[in-house]
Structure 1
Amino acid sequence: MHKNEERTSLNKDLPESERNPDKRACVPGPTVTGFHQDEEGHWVAELSCGHTQHLRHQPPWQSRAWVLDPTQRIEKIGQPFDCGWCAQAPVSDNLGD
């Protein structure tokens, strides 16, 4: 049987995977506060919980046509966005304390 080994979306040594530097607690229902592009040109959502989420579109992990459209991205600011980091246990194996 073939073992499917999936890589994590963020590695510990990347700044996008750092825990909240200002120690804000993760609260239910984070929202999008903004966007920026990483060094490879992929869009990254900035969330109200202090975390970030890559929105890679080559190939897309999820169908998010709005990622490529500037107008639709702006419309997402203030909207709820599920944070994968907040959904994990308080201390994760791939994040530093």
Structure 2
Amino acid sequence: MGQDLLQKNVERTSVTKGSPECERAAEGERPISRIVGFQQDENGHWVVALSCGHTQHLRHQPPWQNRAWVLDPEQRAAPVGQVFTCGWCARGADGATLDR
């Protein structure tokens, strides 16, 4: 019934090939994407959609993850269009390089 918090949570991501909208940074710096919107996963957690085609969970699960702003539609809409450093792009990940 309870979830083992020590057990690794393997997340499945929506990963596509990089988009030309992903701003490539200078050598040695992380690539930069922009927030294009938000969606909910099958468990009701919020996921940010990025211009590079990758996604990133932005959960509100206090006390570990305190992001109450994702629960409010107006606050969620505010960062759309802003820069977001994509961890998948920084790793050079695309659909062919990630284990599923």
Which residue matches 2:76? 73
Query: How big is each residue's C-alpha offset from its partner over 1:17-63, in whole Å with a ceiling of 9 and x where there is no partner?
Result: 4332xx53543321100010000000000001110111111247554
For the residues of structure 2 that align with 1:74 and 1:60, how far apart are their CA atoms? 24
Matched residue type, 1:53: Q
Other-structure match for 1:51: 54
Q: Which amino acid aligns with 1:66?
A: W
Q: Cα–Cα, structure 1 residues 30 and 37, in superposed 2: closer, same or farther, change >3 Å? A: same
Q: What is residue 18 of structure 1 aligned with on the other side? A: 15
Indicate the RMSD between aligned Cα atoms, in angstroms.
Answer: 3.1
Q: When the two structures are superposed, what TM-score results if normalisation uses the length of structure 1?
A: 0.66
Name the structure where helix makes up a greater proportion of residues.
1
Q: Which amino acid aligns with 1:68?
A: L
> What number of residue pairs does the alignment pair up?
86
Higher strand share: 2
Shift of 1:64: 2.9
Structure 1: stretches of 5+ with no match in the other structure: none
Identical-pair percentage:
54
Q: Distance in 2 between matches of 1:85 and 1:6?
A: 23
C-alpha contact 2:33 2:50 (8 A) present in aligned 1: yes
